Amino acid sequence: MDVLDHHNVTVLLLSLGLLLAAARLLGELARSVNLPAVLGEILAGILAGPTVLGAVAPAIHAFLFPCVGGCALAFDGLTTLAIVLFLLVAGMEVNLSAVWRQGKTALWVGLAGMALPFALGFAAAWWLPQLMGHQAGAPRLAFALFMATALSISALPIIAKILMDLNIYRSDLGVTVVAAAVLNDLLGWLVFAVILGLLGAGGGLPVGYTIGLTLLFTLMMLTLFPWAIHRALPWIQAHTSWPGGVLGFALSLCLLAAAFTEWIGIHAIFGSFLAGVALGHSSHLRERTRTTIEQFVSFIFAPLFFASIGLKVNFLDHFNPLLTLTVLVLALCGKILGSTLGGRGAGLPWRDALGIGFGMSAQGTMGIILGVLALQYGLISQTVFVSLVIMALVTSLLSGPAMQAVLRLKKARRFVDYLAPSGFVLRLKAADRWQLIEEFAQLAAPLAGCAVTEIAALVRQREQVMATGIGKGLAVPHARLEGLAEPLVLVGLAPLGIDFDAPDDLPAMLIFFILTPQDDSGIQLEILADIAGTFKSRPMRESCLQVSSYTEFLALVRSGQAH
Amino acid sequence: MDVLDHHNVTVLLLSLGLLLAAARLLGELARSVNLPAVLGEILAGILAGPTVLGAVAPAIHAFLFPCVGGCALAFDGLTTLAIVLFLLVAGMEVNLSAVWRQGKTALWVGLAGMALPFALGFAAAWWLPQLMGHQAGAPRLAFALFMATALSISALPIIAKILMDLNIYRSDLGVTVVAAAVLNDLLGWLVFAVILGLLGAGGGLPVGYTIGLTLLFTLMMLTLFPWAIHRALPWIQAHTSWPGGVLGFALSLCLLAAAFTEWIGIHAIFGSFLAGVALGHSSHLRERTRTTIEQFVSFIFAPLFFASIGLKVNFLDHFNPLLTLTVLVLALCGKILGSTLGGRGAGLPWRDALGIGFGMSAQGTMGIILGVLALQYGLISQTVFVSLVIMALVTSLLSGPAMQAVLRLKKARRFVDYLAPSGFVLRLKAADRWQLIEEFAQLAAPLAGCAVTEIAALVRQREQVMATGIGKGLAVPHARLEGLAEPLVLVGLAPLGIDFDAPDDLPAMLIFFILTPQDDSGIQLEILADIAGTFKSRPMRESCLQVSSYTEFLALVRSGQAH
């Protein structure tokens, strides 16, 4: 029996460990400057791959990421599994009922948003194959169809992430974008199945069979399976260990569906995506089960897959600026224009239609996955692949900020974003609230660039109008400050309690001292609501009083989980 | 670059999906008859492997589980990763402080419990090599050392599971058993490192280096690393996305530690186990992060690994009854006697010492993992491997019931165990509590084998003594019934509320009608406490009122999670 030997096991574990660490690290760095994490993850792969490490230290690169042999095969098996699981999670995020509900608008946006970039991509690849990087030998029709699909497919997981970040995931507009993206992706995958059929990559099945089975499978997965799963889940939860029964069921279903679509000649991920849609539809799937799968997959498997993209090609050697620019312009213009016109066609006002257009323009993950496959099948050159990856990255970067600007949205602002380490007091010295205001004003003055007396006077004034004890041991003395650029939140703990005249008569132990700019009227309310929400559970408040440093406090609040 | 082709991807996904489904299914079946799930998981592998499927349908077996090629290598890579992750979870379960605290007793039990079976195993393998299945060509010293180790190593994950099931995991006795098992496993792995060194399997490093590096690494992982990780975790949680930062950190650490121990010449799982111990020690590791890793690994990766054991050998062809019996007797007698004497040596009373002896006797998982490695290195024959697996299964089966009998323990009893589908009323008709008692008595009579009037009279009597509304919309009318063999719990929902004279004056909406045997005085209290605990959260009670069938109610209670 073929097994990995000692050397291969060592290299496999080492390369996985290093790649995961690098991907997570750069993913976090990307996030910290407000970019999508996936950008950092792909960058980690480019650093560890032939582009950087391979050029700087070829021996180490060859040792860590061998091109042939058991280690390479095992690594490929793992990244295949990783992307299959990632698509399961992406599928689970789809709200099937919302798709049906927003049917008409979504249909317009999805179809028009697909048709225009598809037409542009096809025309360019068919009449100007050289410009689009067509390589001699690759079948021209399949190539043109592929470029058309790659330029017109959306990136559901990225889109969902951006909408959640903007807090409009559950709004009508958000649901429309998601529904249209789902339709878009399903159509895109069907076209891709046809392309694979044209290439004869469908495992020997005739193209007609592939298309027929794909349609049948898709239909079953959107109708019969969601119904059957919804009925099966309570039974599974009632009669098996929790959550082992449901986890095993979900993952087996995902793997078997993936094997089926791979067998009929379209890629495995199509099956796992639809399995995810069918599973995610059931309200009997517990939130806890959902997040267990989602967190493990999004933070372990997905980074490994996206990092592995950078391992495949040398991004510097195969970078063609003209091609990249062409692909980018066609993708962006086609998708934004098409989706916006689709939105108008469904009767939406211009602003909403344009917002939807930008929302649909993120073409990250799915485009890359298609590219990886097309590269494997020899349909596209490494140069085209590189330009597709760059196009995917750029469109994903633009989508969020553009939507925000067009729809005049504000990101949800959290009080933690305005904390300063020097404004944290582990044990407050003050004996009553007036002393406490003095104590905080001393700390706040250098941070706010204001006089201590001014700050103290303003907060005292506000406190005299109405006490700021909000109950449950929380108090939020606050004031607006002229000339302040950014809100400022100071935190202090007083385990002995300070009376703040709260409605429930409990003394305050967690005290937030909040200064906001004079001209931003909304932010004060947002911060107060966020604080009340964050500390509404008793274990959270109790854990909070037990922290021993600012870092521990921050860790507690960011994770939103008591010990 | 070597990648898996279309056929290999199909087979890999199909075999993984089928194996996972079979392993989880049989695991659940085993659990449902009160056996450890791991037994069912191994059985699934035996069914899918050469023993059954290979004999019945050789073509299908060869298609699903090819012995050579990309698919076999990728499969091996995945099961290696699976066992590495499983040991991470096993390590995280170790309570390092408890190990230090119960130091003296644990040292006695661990050492004596290791020494006796080790001596017995070594003596038998050294002087009676034929009886112990020694195969010509295998180095005799290494073989004897291996058999000694395999017969003396504990099965930490199984032991932890059994102690949790018996509800004594956090008791002094439980902690002693776990601490002793940890010591036992660490020693066992060190001896195993020496054996691998003797075999020259240590990747070219001299044996001395291997032992030295192993000791150094172990020491670091038990002292410096837990300290450093405890300090790093708050920082990671404060400054990275939650829980992605911690998950990525934990998994990277695990993979890198595994790669390191594999490189120095002992197996990868030793590194991931110690990484787990170091990680699990920190109180800053959130319970949520812990369970996310634990659930995904225990219910997806572990079943895949344990099922893959059955794929490796033909259990019927290589079953040697005499060898199996010898191994079993030596392992059981040596371990139980040694640990019991160790407990006595530390000054424990006989009963406790014997309980600890039986607790230590579970020799499941670790023994099998050692066996897999020894088989790979050609140190033991398939016959010995089969006898080790059977020994592991039998000892794991005996340990729990034996401890229970010796320590006179009772398993925690839950009210769900006494529910009957026919005793569930989705909408109660009764208008007050007296009518309700009648309504339930009608349902209970055929289940209890008693007259309706008798039951109703007893419950009414009890209700008149003191009302059984316990607040929060719960009521628990109950009575003891002479001649009842098993407790009986009926459940009814009354969304309109029925007055049960509760301390908080709220009408009862969730009503539990409880009949217990006359002579079992403890069970009534246990059931009442369990009901109050299960429904103490408001979301849980609200979800409960919304179920539409008995199965949904059961699913809700078993998962313990509101929608």
Of residues B443, B426, B460, B438, the one with CA closest to residue B468 = B460
| CA-based nearest distance B16→chain A, Å | 7
B136 touching chain A per CB within 8 A: no
Spatial distance between the Cα atoms of A75 and A66, rounded to a whole number of angstroms: 10
Of residues A379, A274, A373, A275, the one with CA closest to residue A76 = A373
Answer positive or negative: Cα dihedral of A51, A52, A54, A58. Answer: positive
Which pLDDT belongs to residue B315? 87
| CA-based nearest distance A134→chain B, Å | 22
Mean pLDDT of B107-136: 90
Annotated catalytic residue within B134, B267, B281, B478: B478
pLDDT at A194 over 90: no
Do residues B69 and B153 lie in contact, with contact meaning Cβ atoms separated by under 8 Å? no
The 10s digit of each residue's pLDDT in A377-406 is 888 898 999 999 889 888 888 888 888 888
For helices B172-198 and B365-376, what crossing angle results, to 10°? 10
Residue B299 is given by DSSP the state I
* Number of neighbouring beta carbons within 10 Å of residue B362: 32
Spatial distance between the Cα atoms of A1 and B109, rounded to a whole number of angstroms: 40
Which pLDDT belongs to residue A563? 56
Which one of A235, A237, A298 has the shortest CB-CB distance to B559? A237
Which pLDDT belongs to residue B555? 83
Q: A17 contacts in B (CB within 8 Å)? A: 252-256, 258-259
Within A33-102, residue ranges assigned H as helices are 37-48, 53-56, 58-64, 70-93, 96-101
Mean pLDDT of A256-282: 88
Q: How confident is the model at residue A99 (pLDDT cuts 50, 70, 90)?
A: confident
| CA-based nearest distance B465→chain A, Å | 36
Which one of B73, B234, B556 has the shortest CB-CB distance to A552? B234
3-state helix, strand, coil in chain B (%, to 5): 70, 5, 25
3-state helix, strand, coil in chain A (%, to 5): 70, 5, 25
Which pLDDT belongs to residue A220? 92
Spatial distance between the Cα atoms of A114 and A8, rounded to a whole number of angstroms: 45
Nearest Cα residue in chain B from A372: B3
Which pLDDT belongs to residue B537? 84
The 10s digit of each residue's pLDDT in A313-344 is 888 888 999 999 999 999 999 999 999 999 99
In the three-class reduction of DSSP (H, G, I as helix; E, B as strand; rest coil), residue B445 is classed as helix
B268 touching chain A per CB within 8 A: yes
For helices A224-239 and A207-222, what crossing angle results, to 10°? 50
Which pLDDT belongs to residue A153? 87
Q: How confident is the model at residue B204 (pLDDT cuts 50, 70, 90)?
A: low
Do residues A514 and A524 lie in contact, with contact meaning Cβ atoms separated by under 8 Å? yes
State percent of chain A over pLDDT 70. Answer: 97
The 10s digit of each residue's pLDDT in A82-94 is 989 988 987 887 7
A540 touching chain B per CB within 8 A: no
Tokens 């003891």 belong to residue: B480
pLDDT at A265 over 70: yes
Which pLDDT belongs to residue A201? 59
For helices A244-264 and B287-296, what crossing angle results, to 10°? 50
B319 touching chain A per CB within 8 A: no
Spatial distance between the Cα atoms of A487 and A415, rounded to a whole number of angstroms: 9
User: Is B239 an active-site residue?
Assistant: no
A282 vs A170, higher pLDDT: A282
State percent of chain B over pLDDT 70. Answer: 97
Interface of A with B in 150-189 (CB under 8 A): none
Of residues A489, A482, A391, the one with CA closest to residue A444 = A489
pTM: 0.85
Spatial distance between the Cα atoms of A357 and A177, rounded to a whole number of angstroms: 9
* Number of neighbouring beta carbons within 10 Å of residue A107: 17
Which pLDDT belongs to residue B81? 93
Q: Which of B62-66, B189-193, B318-322, B403-407 has the lowest mean pLDDT?
A: B189-193
Spatial distance between the Cα atoms of B133 and B330, rounded to a whole number of angstroms: 14
The answer to whether the Cβ–Cβ distance between B9 and A80 falls below 8 Å is yes
Element (H, E) at A294: helix A287-296
The 10s digit of each residue's pLDDT in B150-179 is 888 887 767 877 787 777 877 788 888 888
Q: Which of A1-5, B3-7, B127-131 has the lowest mean pLDDT?
A: A1-5
The 10s digit of each residue's pLDDT in A116-134 is 999 999 999 999 888 888 8
Contacts by A408-412 with C-beta closer than 8 Å and gap 24+? A409/A166, A409/A167, A409/A168, A411/A165, A411/A166, A411/A167, A412/A167, A412/A526
The 10s digit of each residue's pLDDT in A463-478 is 888 888 888 889 999 9
State percent of chain A over pLDDT 90. Answer: 34
Spatial distance between the Cα atoms of A192 and A228, rounded to a whole number of angstroms: 28
Q: A242 contacts in B (CB within 8 Å)? A: 558-561
Within B377-451, residue ranges assigned H as helices are 382-406, 433-448
On the 0-12 / 13-18 / 19+ scale of CB atoms within 10 A, B232 is: middle
The 10s digit of each residue's pLDDT in A106-118 is 889 999 999 999 9
Do residues A328 and A390 lie in contact, with contact meaning Cβ atoms separated by under 8 Å? yes
Beta partners for residue A424, in sequence order: A491
B193 touching chain A per CB within 8 A: no
C-alpha dist (Å) from residue A274 to A103, A215, A263 = 18, 12, 15
Beta partners for residue A419, in sequence order: A489
- Which phi and psi (to 5°) does residue B416 adopt? -60, -25
In the three-class reduction of DSSP (H, G, I as helix; E, B as strand; rest coil), residue B470 is classed as strand
Counting runs of H as helices and runs of E as strands, what totals does chain A give? Answer: 25, 6
Do residues A279 and A225 lie in contact, with contact meaning Cβ atoms separated by under 8 Å? no
Within A199-241, residue ranges assigned H as helices are 207-222, 224-239
pLDDT at B496 over 70: yes
Q: A6 contacts in B (CB within 8 Å)? A: 201, 203, 262
A244 touching chain B per CB within 8 A: yes
Which one of B14, B203, B560 has the shortest CB-CB distance to A7? B203
Which one of A1, A74, A237 has the shortest CB-CB distance to B555? A237
pLDDT at B77 over 70: yes
Kindly state the tokens that stand for B521: 């005085």
Domains of chain A with CATH codes: 86-286+317-407 (1.20.1530.20), 415-559 (3.40.930.10)
Interface of A with B in 384-413 (CB under 8 A): none
pLDDT at B563 over 60: no
Q: Nearest 5 degrees, angle CA A90-CA A92-CA A95?
A: 105
The answer to whether the Cβ–Cβ distance between A12 and B296 falls below 8 Å is no
Rg (CA), chain A: 27
In the three-class reduction of DSSP (H, G, I as helix; E, B as strand; rest coil), residue B426 is classed as coil
Kindly state the tokens that stand for A50: 């032939």
Mean pLDDT of chain A: 86
For helices B244-264 and B207-222, what crossing angle results, to 10°? 160
In the three-class reduction of DSSP (H, G, I as helix; E, B as strand; rest coil), residue B326 is classed as helix
Nearest Cα residue in chain A from B62: A1
Which pLDDT belongs to residue A12? 94
This complex has an ipTM of: 0.84
Mean pLDDT of B324-348: 92
The 10s digit of each residue's pLDDT in B252-274 is 999 999 999 888 877 788 899 88
Of residues B384, B389, B390, B388, the one with CA closest to residue B138 = B384
| Torsion angle of the four alpha carbons A128, A132, A136, A140, in this order, in degrees rounded to the nearest 10 | -70
A179 vs A365, higher pLDDT: A179
The 10s digit of each residue's pLDDT in A526-559 is 888 888 888 888 888 888 888 888 888 888 888 7
Do residues A124 and A147 lie in contact, with contact meaning Cβ atoms separated by under 8 Å? yes
On the 0-12 / 13-18 / 19+ scale of CB atoms within 10 A, B140 is: exposed
Which pLDDT belongs to residue B368? 79
Of residues A471, A490, A372, A365, the one with CA closest to residue A430 = A490
Do residues A362 and A155 lie in contact, with contact meaning Cβ atoms separated by under 8 Å? yes
Which pLDDT belongs to residue A353? 92
Nearest Cα residue in chain B from A84: B13
Of residues A281, A245, A236, A283, the one with CA closest to residue B547 = A283
The 10s digit of each residue's pLDDT in A421-449 is 888 988 888 889 899 999 999 999 998 88
